[in-house]
Structure 1
């Protein structure tokens, strides 16, 4: 594989840009510290404060633990205790001590006792990063997460993750989701590095082959999100709830960018491991990126990437979500590294200019979580500023190689990584 370091004159090689990314990362991390709750981490409001009714959630706790672990690995003081708090929370009140696995919120106080693959993928990712950070309790948490994934979620027959179960692992949901399998792919890349077990790379490839090389490719490389248990597309899924935060109707350009990046990480990880690596991984990544730029960016007369499209590629939910643009810039940076082509440099700069102008909040801190169709701060889908994970990774990925996975790469490069 002929991997190029960057396009000529790339921002990825510019010391000032590298310093800007590092400074923005420090700003994001400092803001996120306030999300700590006794039982994990919660959602912050627009000004960076915990609302009176804030509660610890597994998604935020896992994402924060992963993010703070990567800060600690780089040698930033003040994050070790936050990683430890996250590990304790995931091993304690967020975990189901009776049946195993993880609730969505501490002790299932939100009334949801189900077990979702999406959340368990993030627990595995958090645990793997905490292991790389050499934090106490992390290995036991990782062993637990791997056991749950192996026992309940991974389907060897399907080559993908099952979606969800009742608390006691009965009543498997008759649904398969691209989103949970995407984050499963992300977690599996990290698990391969931390455990040295190549089955995780083989599992990741099987997921990608089904969701992207089979289904997305047949849909002009716009990701089909929803399937029945037999992996038949459910095109009308959530038609009456199109702006759902996790399972929106139609296609989601942000996921197209996220998948594009993951395909390149997987390709490089398999090459480094000496595994047979199909050429379509890079080709599909480029097609995903190109198609989602074509149909997602500036399609309603205003700059920015819309949240969702219908099956005729018309905008359905025109809000611009911050995570979508984080993933777009990260995918562009990965494609710059992989191909050296100038078009990806152009897009990379375009996305960061948009984020600086519209998403980055220099007044109250962090990033606006979403914008309305006129690119004004909005809270229609997601209120407040609950998420460090996407923006923090967006400022790290351009400074790291495509493989190994992020925490492991930081452990190998932190001595030379510009801070």
Structure 2
């Protein structure tokens, strides 16, 4: 894969539409969006998840804004699932998941899920989907009352069902998706406070990146004391893995640049430098480090690979981060990285025969499913086809609306 040629805008557009076609049957009989198997069929043995349903609303709202046939009905049906099936009518907010009978599979209320509900609602409003405005109003109200924590300026990770007691755990994953959602909500509502909140979290991440040499801690106690040992015995946990998560370093690199572009002169200091550091560390620790191309999933705190499987979302976020840094700096080294990682996607992850991208590869780049069986998630891959073609601000749905559904050339 020496000297790869970056994909053209036409190729990216075709790939985006191909990916959207994979989820045409994503609706679940009980409501919301199903977990999809390897060929795009709903896996009805699995619960209906709020995060998958929310991402489905978001992705297919983007498809609607692109004028892709069939996307409107998919986004609308998933949005209805958030308003009904997954909504807790008794205590408010959203369940993490429900089973085939519509009963909640657990009692926790998670920031991760609620951040994605906000993102879904903001994209639905931009797309003009019925029910989007009321969903956004409720989602932002719930988030402000329960997940945003003043005066620390960060988020609570999880509550019990009745919102009586928060768990002591604090996490950077929910913080990351809260930043993404807050930027989108601020763009849609015009309420600057959401952008400012995103900036406060971003400022904290800048400090974490600099004090840990670009390897971001993921897990914290209730006072935000760093816990570097959590899940050492379960290093491949899909949501709370041990160690430094390569893909999150890349994702944060991009998000810091979105925050900078959104806040302008009011942005926290050091966002660009931190973005560079995070991408450089992810490359040094994670890319092509064990005898085969691809990003390893996680590393120990000295950079030693821990889980060497290759996840599709990590490559997607690498592409998006490199594209963002190229747009911000104009430096060709980042465009070269973007092209290199697209070439890896085409060679190893893109599944032309069955659709979408393989969600997980083993260390030799062969498909496997120890962490992510099936292909439940279009969010990272679809965004990787759009972010290189759009400005750093506003957020995706608003940017597509402003460009009348046609991304401008890079």
**Aligned match for 1:328, one of 314, 318, 343:** 318
Mapping of residues 310-349 of structure 1, within 5 Å: 310-349=300-339
Aligned to 1:186: 180
Contact 2:199–2:268, Cα closer than 8 Å, also in 1: no
Instruction: Report what 1:397 is aligned to.
Output: 387
Offset, 1:415: 5.0
Q: Distance in 2 between matches of 1:382 and 1:135?
A: 30
Q: How does 1:88-99 map to 2 (within 5 A)?
A: 88-99=80-91
Residue of structure 2 equivalent to 1:260: 253
Aligned to 2:273: 283
Equivalent position of 1:28 in the other structure: 19
Aligned partners of 1:204 and 1:319: how far apart in 2? 31
Contact 1:22–1:418 (CA under 8 A) maintained in structure 2: no
Cross-structure match for 2:227: 234
1:128 to 122, 125, 131: 122
Distance 1:136 1:356, change over 3 A: same
Q: Tell me by how many angstroms 1:111 deviates.
A: 2.6
The Cα offsets for residues 247-268 of structure 1, whole Å up to 9 and x where unpaired, read as 0000001000000000111111
- Taking the aligned partners of 1:256 and 1:180, their CA distance within structure 2 comes to 14
Q: Match of 1:203?
A: 197
The number of residue pairs the alignment matches comes to: 404
Q: Is the 8 A contact 1:102 1:115 kept in 2?
A: yes
1:232-257 alpha-carbon deviations (Å, 9 max, x no partner): 11111011110000000000010000
How far did residue 276 of structure 1 move? 1.5
Q: Does 1:214 align with 2:214?
A: no
TM-score by length of 2: 0.95
User: Counterpart of 2:288 in 1: which secondary structure?
Assistant: coil
Q: Contact between 1:19 and 1:418, CA under 8 Å: does it hold in 2? A: no
User: In structure 1, what is the equivalent of residue 343 of structure 2?
Assistant: 353
Q: Which has the higher mean CA deviation after the structures are superposed, 17-26 or 36-45? A: 36-45
Partners of 2:262 and 2:394 within 8 A in 1 = yes
Deviation digits for residues 353-395 of structure 1 (CA, Å, limit 9, x no counterpart): 1000000001111110010011100101010000000000000
Matched, 1:157 2:159: no
Q: Is the Cα–Cα contact under 8 Å of residues 249 and 279 in structure 2 kept in the other structure?
A: yes
Asked if the contact 1:47–1:365 (Cα under 8 Å) also holds between the matched residues in 2, the reply is yes
Q: How far apart are the structure 2 equivalents of 1:297 and 1:156?
A: 38
SS at match of 1:316: strand
Displacement of 1:417: 2.9
Contact in 2 for aligned 1:155/1:161 (Cα 8 Å): yes
Contact 1:37 1:55 in 2 (8 A): no
2:41 is matched with which residue? Answer: 49
Q: Which residue of structure 2 aligns with residue 364 of structure 1?
A: 354
Q: C-alpha displacement at 1:279, in angstroms?
A: 4.0
> How far 1:52 moved relative to its partner?
4.0
**Conservation of the 8 A alpha-carbon contact between 2:96 and 2:105:** no
* SS state at 2:48 partner: coil
Give the match for residue 83 of structure 1: 75
Any idea what SS the aligned residue of 1:37 has?
A: coil
Structure 1 runs (4+) deviating above 6 angstroms are none
Aligned twin of 1:381: 371
Stretches of structure 2 that go unaligned for 5 or more consecutive residues are none
TM-superposition CA deviations, 1:202-243 (whole Å, max 9, x none): 100111111x22222100011110000111111110111100
- Could you state the TM-score of these two structures normalised by the residue count of structure 1? 0.93
